[in-house]
Amino acid sequence: MRHPELVSGSHKQKMMKRSFVYIMTNKYRTTFYIGVTANLQKRILEHIEGVGSKFTSKYNLKDLIYFEEFSDIEQAIAREKQLKNWHKGWKLNLIRETNPKLETLDIF
């Protein structure tokens, strides 16, 4: 069992920091965007406001329909890369495991 309180310096901060992989979509659920962030609420607001991603802005991807939480950014980045290599059907199956109706998730 790890004990973050016994770890010093930046390694402790790294261990304690949460990271997220998330999937955004449009109102028709036809296009997906997969991203990674340390601050999910802030990043989703940026997408909604059209800031930071030309792709999400271009395709009007403003609905969060899926996310996973990780204890460190390396895990989140690895998962993001994995999901980006999946075909759309696999992504839909993954999303439907926790969000069967592909509803917009309210994280605020």
Per-residue pLDDT tens digits for 15-59: 458 999 999 999 999 999 999 999 999 999 999 999 989 999 999
Strands (E), the chain: 19-25, 32-37, 63-70
In words, the CATH class of domain 18-98 is alpha beta
Taking the CA atoms of residue 14, residue 34, residue 108 and residue 71 in that order, the dihedral angle to the nearest 10 degrees is: -20
Global pTM reads 0.84
In which band, very low, low, confident or very high, does the pLDDT at 8 lie, cut at 50, 70 and 90? Answer: very low
In this prediction, residues 80-88 reach a mean pLDDT of 98
Q: Looking at beta carbons, which pairs linking 28-35 to residues 24 or more positions away fall under 8 Å?
A: 29/65, 29/102, 31/59, 31/61, 32/61, 32/88, 32/91, 33/59, 33/61, 34/80, 34/83, 34/84, 34/91, 35/80
Encode pLDDT of 50-79 as tens digits: 998 999 999 999 999 999 999 999 999 999
Q: Report domain extents, the chain.
A: 18-98
How does DSSP classify residue 64?
E
For 96, list phi and psi in degrees, rounded to 5.
-70, -20
